[in-house]
């Protein structure tokens, strides 16, 4: 819009400045030109605009008028303010001490409508998703409605598996520790837990959980007391705060129990149900919504909290108590949605007479929950006070692992690395946790696997037939991180399988003999590999893929996941590829034990299958004559 500001400017050489209604007074120093008038008037206009609450963009024109009823449009403007003007050019009446009445025409721009900032990361998720907005009890009545919306769903493997997300143990070590304490005997006990007090409190909790209650509120308070005794069953160190029904925060949507860290994030959230079969809402969906909303409130609490959520993945332990059963669930904020996965199956609270194995299982889970809550609270405190903060994990498909023990040296030394690129996986396959990373100035390959044989890997490396193993460590939750030398594709390295159909028959024979000799050597040391397919043999392609190959580099064996000592190495299951199905039948656990003859049969079969494809296609390949090399293979 256009606004007109009227100013009565007096030459103070003769008279003092005056001010009248609807006029602002601007003072002009004697002897100066119109540019000074511009500065004075501009400053006054800005003050006036501020007074009326309008931001302005000035395009100033000044008119000399003797009366206020003069048509402004017909009055010639004085020279534009930016131009210099001599004192003598000002009106004579002004130069002799009179008044100069000016009208300033200013283009007034209304301030733009302030759009809310675009929220990203977990903050954006909590703002747009029903999990962060709706009443949890209402949301849980129709969870599929939210889960069918990609921008609103939680990553809980429903309605389809979230295969591109790393396992829980690789997202947060505390979850891996929980799994270890429940499944690995040597990791079960800890000196920070009072076992007598814990067992007694868990028994009392189970007895109250199996009772019948008129409503869920009575149930909530009946089991809350022994639950807090459980979490107080520690010997030394950090004291866990009580689980309370009403969380801090502006919402009246109170969970059945929660505990907050100093960040304001929940370390624990629980939901109680009187039974499992009469519920109209899904308990896991409901407790997840409570957790999202508590994290949302924590995130909005301070700039420091927002930075933590931008840089870290913040974990929470969830618990469901339904009827006479208990289940623990992992919750962790990722970059654009939370990951929610069960830590335990449903655990019964009923005992079979004198058989207390079900009680032992329940005690194991609560023991792990104590340790996990302590770790979450400690880690969140470290996140809040980290200086400098840890590097941001830029991809939710990346594990939260940035170092491991150096292999073959001082076990206290660490190898630091930064994951940079995830190896692609074939469609409809379980994703490979294989990454190209940088360790210092070197590119390395980082692999995560639940089984691995570093000793066999090192043995093959000493023979010159494997990349160097640089780092190796068992992670909580049963995973291993393996860091090895990267044989880069830019230099021509690639799987032997990708060139088997195009290299000469002589080259194929040579490749087989070279790997067979390595196999013979590690068999003599009582090792087996279990997967000697050509996909797990790397070749420098220019050395092999030519009419006159040089063979200047040795073939490299990789993928030692199933390797180990004879008698202990096993295939992971019965779902094996055709090249690995070297037995007449796979019907018992003993059939999964890898023998030396299995290595030999797999190696022969993988070469034979390549050769058979050539023979099935007349005119294709170097020759159609079958080699005696493969006579008698399985």
CATH of residue 430: 3.30.200
- Phi, psi (rounded to 5 degrees) for 336: -140, 10
pLDDT digits (tens, 9 = 90+) for 253-283: 567 899 999 999 999 999 998 875 556 678 9
Q: Tell which of 427, 460, 485 closes a domain.
A: 485
pLDDT at 606: 87
Residues of the chain with pLDDT under 70: 1-118, 246-254, 276-280, 388-394, 427-428, 545-549, 609-634
Q: Are residues 518 and 457 in the same domain?
A: no
Q: Are residues 50 and 97 in the same domain?
A: yes
pLDDT at 42: 59
pLDDT at 285: 94
pLDDT at 91: 52
Q: Tell which of 455, 485, 515 closes a domain.
A: 485
Q: Are residues 494 and 476 in the same domain?
A: no
- Count Cβ atoms below 10 Å from residue 481 Cβ, excluding itself: 24
Q: Are residues 361 and 408 in the same domain?
A: no
pLDDT at 101: 52
pLDDT at 276: 56
pLDDT at 392: 64
* Total domains, the chain: 4
pLDDT digits (tens, 9 = 90+) for 147-198: 999 999 999 999 988 988 999 999 999 999 999 999 998 898 888 999 999 9
Q: Are residues 136 and 239 in the same domain?
A: yes
Quick check: is 313 in a domain?
Answer: yes
Spacing of C-alpha 437 from chain mean position:
17
Quick check: is 479 in a domain?
Answer: yes
Q: Are residues 424 and 288 in the same domain?
A: no
Give the structural domain span for 99: 2-107
Q: Are residues 432 and 500 in the same domain?
A: no
Quick check: is 70 in a domain?
Answer: yes
CB 476 within 8 A of CB 176: yes
Q: What's 106-141 look like in SS3?
A: EECCCCCCCCCCCCCHHHHHHHHCHHHHCCHHHHCC
Can you tell me the distance from the alpha carbon of 233 to that of 222, in angstroms, rounded to the nearest whole number? 19
pLDDT at 111: 52
Q: Are residues 457 and 517 in the same domain?
A: no
Q: Tell which of 359, 385, 411 closes a domain.
A: 385
Coil/strand/helix, residue 63 = strand
Please spell the DSSP secondary structure of 480-503, one letter per residue: EEEEEE---GGGTEEEGGGTTTTS
């Amino acid at each position: 819009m256009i606004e007109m500001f009227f100013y009565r400017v007096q030459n103070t050489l003769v008279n003092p400045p005056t001010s009248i209604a609807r006029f602002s007074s601007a003072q002009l120093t004697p002897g100066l030109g119109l540019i000074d008038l511009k500065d004075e008037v501009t400053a006054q206009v800005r003050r006036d605009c501020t007074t009326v609450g309008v931001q302005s963009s000035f395009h100033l024109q000044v008119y000399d008028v003797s009366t206020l009823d003069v048509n402004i449009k017909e009055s010639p403007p004085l020279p534009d303010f930016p131009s210099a003007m001599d004192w003598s050019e000002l009106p004579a009446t002004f130069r002799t001490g009179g008044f100069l009445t000016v009208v300033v025409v200013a283009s007034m721009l209304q301030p733009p409508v302030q759009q809310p900032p675009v929220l990203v990361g977990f903050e954006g998720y909590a703002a747009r998703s029903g999990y962060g907005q709706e009443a949890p009890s209402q949301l849980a009545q129709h969870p599929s409605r939210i889960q069918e919306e990609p921008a609103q769903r939680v990553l809980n493997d429903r309605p389809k598996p979230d295969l591109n997300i790393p396992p829980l143990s690789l997202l947060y070590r505390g979850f891996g520790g929980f799994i270890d304490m429940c499944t690995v005997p040597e990791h079960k006990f800890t000196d920070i837990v009072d076992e007598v007090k814990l067992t007694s409190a868990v028994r009392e909790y189970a007895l109250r959980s199996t009772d019948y209650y008129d409503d869920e509120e009575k149930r909530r308070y009946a089991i809350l007391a022994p639950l807090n005794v459980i979490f107080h069953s520690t010997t030394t160190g950090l004291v866990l705060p009580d689980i309370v029904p009403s969380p801090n925060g502006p919402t009246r949507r109170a969970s059945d129990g929660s505990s907050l860290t100093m960040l304001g994030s929940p370390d624990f959230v629980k939901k109680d149900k009187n039974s499992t079969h009469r519920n109209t809402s899904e308990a896991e969906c409901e407790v997840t919504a409570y957790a999202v909303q508590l994290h949302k409130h924590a995130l909005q609490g301070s700039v420091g909290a927002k930075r933590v959520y931008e840089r870290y993945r913040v974990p929470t332990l969830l618990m469901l108590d339904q009827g006479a059963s208990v289940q623990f669930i992992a919750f962790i904020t990722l970059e654009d949605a939370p990951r929610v996965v069960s830590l335990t199956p449903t655990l019964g609270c009923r005992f079979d007479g004198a058989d207390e194995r079900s009680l032992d299982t329940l005690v194991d889970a609560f023991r792990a929950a104590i340790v996990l809550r302590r770790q979450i609270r400690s880690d969140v405190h470290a996140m809040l006070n980290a200086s400098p903060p840890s590097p941001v994990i830029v991809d939710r498909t990346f594990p939260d692992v940035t170092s491991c023990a150096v292999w073959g040296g001082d076990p206290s030394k660490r190898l630091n690395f930064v994951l940079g690129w995830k190896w692609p996986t074939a469609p409809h396959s379980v994703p490979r946790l294989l990454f190209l990373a940088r360790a210092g100035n070197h590119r390395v390959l980082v692999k995560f696997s639940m089984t691995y044989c570093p000793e066999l890997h090192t043995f093959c490396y000493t023979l010159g037939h494997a990349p160097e193993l640089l780092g190796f460590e068992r992670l909580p939750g049963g995973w291993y991180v393996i860091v090895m030398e990267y044989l880069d594709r830019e230099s021509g390295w690639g799987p032997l399988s990708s060139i088997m159909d195009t290299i000469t028959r002589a080259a194929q024979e040579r490749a087989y003999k070279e790997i067979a000799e390595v196999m013979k050597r590690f068999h003599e040391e009582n090792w087996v590999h279990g997967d000697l397919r050509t996909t797990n043999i790397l070749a420098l392609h220019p050395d092999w893929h030519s009419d006159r190959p040089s063979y200047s580099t040795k073939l490299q064996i990789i993928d030692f996941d199933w390797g180990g000592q004879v008698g202990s190495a096993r295939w992971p299951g019965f779902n094996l590829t055709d090249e690995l199905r070297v037995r007449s039948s796979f019907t018992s656990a003993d059939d999964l034990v890898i023998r030396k003859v299995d290595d030999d049969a797999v190696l022969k079969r993988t070469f034979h299958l390549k050769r058979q494809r050539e023979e099935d296609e007349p005119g294709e390949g170097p020759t159609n004559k079958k080699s005696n090399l493969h006579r008698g293979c399985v």
